[in-house]
Amino acid sequence: AAPSELRAALSAQGCESYCRIVSVRRKYGGEKGRISVDLDIISEPSHMNYNIGEVEMMVEDEGSVASAEEAIDAFLTEHSLATKQVALGKVLTVIKESNAEHFAALRESLGAKYPKLERV
């Protein structure tokens, strides 16, 4: 469906836009067995100062996960980047910064299902 048709269908169900988020993603690497880095820079809403990076590695099977985690930890340490840091996604960050009451209600109702909400 075209964006205007989707907006109309959502509006007919009582769903209205909460915010507009514009981001630019830069992706580096990504070959299987090698570390890849994604960097997201948010340009809208303009009051936000939100940038996030994701470091990951694609593996062949579950048996390779532990060594991939070790490689990622070594990469992060080598580049003086935070490890094991809890980060909210873009939409939750917008809600937290612009409507603390709504964010508190989300944390209360969803905290058990999404433990990272409890840690921020």
d(CA 109, CA 35): 36
Percent of the chain whose predicted confidence (pLDDT) is above 90: 23
Mean pLDDT within 37-56: 82
| Beta strands 22-29; 51-57: pairing state | unpaired
d(CA 88, CA 96): 9
Q: Are 36 and 57 in contact, with CB atoms under 8 Å apart? A: yes
Confidence of residue 1 (pLDDT cuts 50, 70, 90): low
pTM recorded for the entire structure: 0.63
Mean pLDDT within 33-38: 89
**pLDDT recorded at residue 65:** 92
